[in-house]
Amino acid sequence: MTDSYILALVNYALDNQLIEKEDYTYAVNAVLEVMQLDSIDLSAQPAETDSLEEILNYLIQDGVKRGIVDDNFTAYDLFDTKLMGVFTPFPSQVRKTFASLYKEDSAKATDWYYNFSKATNYIRTERVARDKKWTYDCEYGQLDITINLSKPEKDPRAIAAAKNAPQSDYPKCQLCAENEGYAGRMNHPARQNHRIIPVTINNSDWFFQYSPYVYYNEHCIVFNGQHVPMKIEKATFGKLLDFVKQFPHYFVGSNADLPIVGGSILSHDHFQGGNYTFTMAKAGIEKELAFKGFEDVQAGIVKWPMSVIRLSSPDTDRLIELADKILLAWREYTDEAAFVYAYTDGVPHNTITPIARKKGDNFELDLVLRNNITTEDRPLGVYHPNSKLHHIKKENIGLIEVMGLAVLPGRLNKELAQLKDAVLAGADIRGDEALSVHADWIDELKAQYTFDENNTEEILKQEVGKVFKQVLEDAGVYKCTDEGKAAFMRFVDTVNK
């Protein structure tokens, strides 16, 4: 049977144009080497399956039985990536193909690269398909809700193996260009099937790739060629807009550069983008603004739970100048009445999450005002989800969430199913160790709804959406109240002074 699955894997590579017919024998022998086998029956019938994951899983388990693969999920990923690396062309070939297609059309180049990244299993399409997704309609628009099931849960056996693995600072992080082709280890993912595209933005060397666990269509990562920390500055706006000029069908944005309000990797300067229109991008202007000396730039406060100033102009230089003026003003801005402090004990708190896109003939910059101050009552952040929401979302609110897509932890998939059963059975949720964190929430829902077999699952999903809306409102520096709107305008007025 192993021979059949090896031949099925090579046929997959051939069908997906990773290899040519002339490469067939070479590819079979390369797979044999990875499998540590000496021979194969080429007359064997290839396994009949359209699932790459099924093929790889069979070969992994064969390796486990023969003792060449450790029995844990991290080792499985290291091994199947090594197998797919057999078929992945050298970086120079990938870059030449991309460059040739880009000369015709930037979208044609990214379409090819995205499909290539799926074909090599760098984007694990079958895992991504397991993510649970739905939408929630509210006064701000239609929010996207995702329970992330594509990233495997941490395997205790893998954790133990990683603890005992030799430590290394190569590559310095998972975003560094040195990951391309890297074999990986127990505490660092394999990347033999990973290829990156060089891009020059704002006269600096960067690279472009896709996320292996895409949260939305063509979810890409644009990262600095140097391992330097995240920094929001004038040049950031120039880089974002330069990328959009080169790939006008993509948006691109940056996480903030401070803890709590920033992303999970602050040590390596990077952006995220893609071919997707988030709800925030669809949101209209709630209040038009005019900035002194920039009357030619359209500006306004976006109707959104977080505090967003949108700038629009065909002239990117004007956008950059005004965005920088707003950033510099916000960095130093304090308004005690609104509990906005630029510094406490010399530690900075104000920053911006910027997003760039092209809309018609104009370029747009959305500037999301962020503040990461903490208090004794709110040790994770004043502008962070309230503790009563942590049973659904406790993690930082980064770029993706800011734009209206909830990335929720995988545990919720099981917990929501168990909650449905418990509610319908009238079970004691407070007495259940795993579900007790949801008890107050469920009590509130029981006062609002009459649950039955037909509506419980949908009610829970919609109420999760409502929690995410509250998460975004908590993360907003200026609340969508008369008082909050007045405080927002006090800041705008200081920019105009």
Tell me the per-residue pLDDT of 359-392, one tens digit each, with 9 for 90 and over: 999 999 999 999 999 999 999 999 999 999 999 9
Question: How far apart, in Å, are the Cα atoms of 418 and each of 152, 383, 460?
Answer: 20, 31, 11
CA distance 449 to 459: 8
Q: Collapsing DSSP states into helix, strand and coil, what is residue 309?
A: strand
DSSP letter for each residue of 149-218? -SSPPPPHHHHHHHHHSPP--SSSSTTSGGGTT---BTTB---TT---EEEEETTEEEEEEE-SS-SSTT
CA distance 302 to 365: 12
pLDDT recorded at residue 332: 98
CA distance 280 to 406: 13
The phi and psi torsions of 165 (rounded to 5 degrees) equal -75, 150
Assess contact for 180 and 190: CB atoms under 8 A: no
Q: Collapsing DSSP states into helix, strand and coil, what is residue 133?
A: strand
Query: What one-letter code names the amino acid at 230?
Result: M
The phi and psi torsions of 270 (rounded to 5 degrees) equal -160, 160
Helices 106-119 and 91-104: crossing angle, nearest 10°? 150
pLDDT recorded at residue 404: 98
CA distance 293 to 198: 37
pLDDT recorded at residue 160: 55
pLDDT recorded at residue 497: 83
Assess contact for 159 and 151: CB atoms under 8 A: no
Q: Give CB contacts under 8 A, 24+ apart, made by 316-321.
A: 316/238, 316/241, 316/242, 316/245, 316/363, 318/294, 319/237, 319/241, 319/363, 319/365, 320/234, 320/237, 320/238, 320/241, 321/294
CA distance 494 to 311: 17
Of 402, 407, 408, which Cα lies nearest the Cα of 475? 402
pLDDT recorded at residue 371: 96
Burial class (CB in 10 A: 0-12, 13-18, 19+), 73: middle
Torsion of CA 112, 115, 116, 121, to 10 degrees: 170
CA distance 318 to 330: 18
User: Beta strands 350-359 and 132-138: pairing type?
Assistant: unpaired
Q: Which residues of the chain have pLDDT under 70?
A: 152-167
CA distance 206 to 120: 23
CA distance 32 to 94: 25
Strand partners, 209: 221
DSSP letter for each residue of 228-274? -----SHHHHHHHHHHHHH-TT-EEE--BSSTTTB-S--SS-EEEEE
Of 348, 304, 342, 351, which Cα lies nearest the Cα of 323? 351
CA distance 406 to 271: 18
Residue 59: its H or E element: helix 52-65
DSSP letter for each residue of 62-119? HHHHTTSS-SSHHHHHHHHHHHHHTTPPPHHHHHHHHHHHHHH-HHHHHHHHHHHHHH
CA distance 173 to 38: 36
DSSP letter for each residue of 208-236? EEE-SS-SSTT-EEEEESS------SHHH
Instruction: State the first-to-last Cα distance of the chain, in angstroms, to the nearest integer.
Output: 76
